[in-house]
Amino acid sequence: MRFWILTLNPGFFRGATDEGMIRIARQKGLLDVSVVAIRDFTDDRYGTTDDYPYGGGAGMVMKAEPILRANESVRRDAEAGTAAGGRPRVLVTTPQGRPFTQAWARELAQERGIVVLCGRYKGIDERVIPLLGAEEISIGDYVLSGGEPAAMVILDALARLIPGVLGDAESAEADSFSEPLLDAPVYTRPEDVSGQRVPEVLLSGDHERIRVWKRREALRRTWRRRPDLLLGRALCKEDQKLLDEIKKEEGR
């Protein structure tokens, strides 16, 4: 996958794209990340990337032309790359966007090229969206000062889903949200930490009891923290029985 980030703050990505899963994906040659500085595509000597909003109001608006030129250079880059070819999909980070989910991440991970345009200031000149054929994307119901952290979140979520990046053992299949249940708690050595003990069942060696315990605790967490994930969802018989028991235990 080729991933381009269009940003006013290229420095934000220094280091961040050289760590963890993103570094592994890049080292394996499965991911190529390019950070494109929008300021390089301005046409005045001040490098102006923003301007006052028409109709007034607080904050500055990102100008269309430097972004369009930056995107043109990405398009040329994409066409030149033999492996990537075709038109990359363009995303724009904004709190007004469609919520980013694991399902959307799985879909995007199939793409050969993705461009993420990081929003800043009060927003981006609206005409950029149709001109780029862009999709607006939000990583949550809170406001960041810029779209750069959102671009990193999207990149990280996609990198681990690119086929071949994760080993079989850590395969993303069983993640929370692949199946819409939160994960059960996990523990590692030692058995006792300041008087807090690992649940006995996990030390029992009884694989079936452990499996049922993990399932029960995953359901319990989901029921406690994210009941919305269970609402209107048809559960298999075993899950329904476990959930009924949990509800009885929890008295609600």
Most distant CA pair in the chain, distance: 71
Q: Which of 7, 49, 71, 138 binds ligand ADE (CB under 6 A)?
A: 138
Helix intervals (H) in 49-197: 64-80, 102-108, 128-132, 148-159
Cα–Cα–Cα angle for 11, 117, 54, rounded to 5 degrees: 105
**Residue 150 touching ligand ADE (CB under 6 A):** yes
Site residues for ligand ADE, window 112-131 (CB under 6 A)? Answer: 119
Q: How far is the CB of 28 from ligand ADE (least distance, A)?
A: 28
**Residue 7 touching ligand ADE (CB under 6 A):** no
**Residue 246 touching ligand ADE (CB under 6 A):** no
Give the whole-angstrom CA distance, residue 136 versus residue 113.
16
Helix (H) or strand (E) holding 124: strand 123-124
**Residue 139 touching ligand ADE (CB under 6 A):** yes
Query: Which segment (6-14, 92-100, 186-194, 231-239) binds ligand ADE by CB under 6 A?
Result: 92-100
Q: How many residues bind ligand ADE (CB under 6 A)?
A: 12
Separation of CA 188 from chain center? 27
Preceding amide of 149 cis, omega within 30: no
Q: How far is the CB of 186 from ligand ADE (least distance, A)?
A: 29
- Give the binding site for ligand ADE (CB under 6 A): 93-95, 119, 138-140, 142-144, 147, 150
